[in-house]
A and B are shown apart, each in its own frame.
Chain A
Amino acid sequence: MQLLGGAASDVSRDEEVNGKPPRIAPLREDELSPEAAEYCKWLRGAMGIPETGLIPGVTATMLRHMDLNDAQTTIGVMLTSKGKISPRERELAVLRGGWITGAPFEWSEHVVIAKRLGISAEEIERIIEGGAAPGWSAHEAALLTGVDELLSRFMISDETWATLAQSWDQQQLMEFPILVGVYAATAMQQNSLRVTTEGGKPGLTSR
Chain B
Amino acid sequence: MELKGYGDRLAERTAQVVGEGPKIAALADSEMASETRALVDKIRLSAGAGTAAEVPEYMRTMVKHPDLFRAQMEMGTVLFKGLISPRERELAVLRIGWLAGAPYEWGEHVKISQRYGVSREEIARVQQGSSAPGWSEHDAAILRGVEELMSDYAVSDATWDILAKTWDEAQLLEYPSMVGQYVVTAFIQNSIRSRPAPENPGLSHS
Question: Which A residues are in CB contact (< 8 Å) with B70?
Answer: 78
**A104 → chain B closest CB, angstroms:** 11
CA distance A94 to B3 in the complex (A): 22
Q: Which residue of A is nearest B177, CB measured?
A: A189
CA distance A30 to B192 in the complex (A): 46
Do residues A177 and B173 form an inter-chain contact, with CB atoms below 8 A? Answer: no
CA distance A76 to B173 in the complex (A): 18
Interface check B83, CB cutoff 8 A: yes
Partner of B170, one of A65, A170, A181: A65
Question: Which B residues are in CB contact (< 8 Å) with A180?
Answer: 187
Task: Give the segment of B16-24, B28-36, B87-95, B115-123 that binds chain A.
Answer: B16-24
- Residues of A whose CB lies within 8 Å of any CB of B are 1-4, 16-17, 23-24, 61-62, 64-65, 67-68, 70-72, 74-75, 78-79, 82-84, 101-103, 150, 153-156, 161, 170-171, 173-178, 180-182, 184-189, 191-193
Do residues B65 and A171 form an inter-chain contact, with CB atoms below 8 A? Answer: yes
Do residues A75 and B102 form an inter-chain contact, with CB atoms below 8 A? Answer: no
Report 28 cross-chain contacts, Cβ distance below 8 Å, ordered by A residue: A1-B3, A1-B4, A16-B154, A23-B160, A24-B173, A61-B173, A65-B174, A67-B78, A67-B81, A68-B78, A70-B74, A71-B77, A75-B71, A102-B154, A154-B186, A155-B17, A155-B191, A161-B23, A171-B64, A175-B68, A177-B190, A178-B68, A181-B180, A182-B180, A184-B184, A185-B180, A189-B180, A192-B160
Number of chain B interface residues as a range: 35 or more
Do residues A24 and B78 form an inter-chain contact, with CB atoms below 8 A? Answer: no
Question: Which A residues are in CB contact (< 8 Å) with B72?
Answer: 75, 178
**B117 → chain A closest CB, angstroms:** 23
**A203 → chain B closest CB, angstroms:** 13
Do residues B184 and A182 form an inter-chain contact, with CB atoms below 8 A? Answer: yes
Do residues A68 and B154 form an inter-chain contact, with CB atoms below 8 A? Answer: no
CA distance A17 to B176 in the complex (A): 14
Identify the 6 closest CB pairs spanning chains A and B, nearest first: A185-B180, A181-B184, A155-B190, A191-B154, A154-B100, A101-B153
Interface check B127, CB cutoff 8 A: no
**A106 → chain B closest CB, angstroms:** 10
Do residues B173 and A71 form an inter-chain contact, with CB atoms below 8 A? Answer: no
**B121 → chain A closest CB, angstroms:** 26
Q: Which residue of A is nearest B181, CB measured?
A: A185
Question: Which A residues are in CB contact (< 8 Å) with B153?
Answer: 4, 101-103, 184, 187-188, 191
Question: Which A residues are in CB contact (< 8 Å) with B191?
Answer: 150, 155-156, 161, 176-177
Question: Which B residues are in CB contact (< 8 Å) with A82?
Answer: 67
Interface check B196, CB cutoff 8 A: no
Interface check B1, CB cutoff 8 A: yes
Do residues B17 and A174 form an inter-chain contact, with CB atoms below 8 A? Answer: no
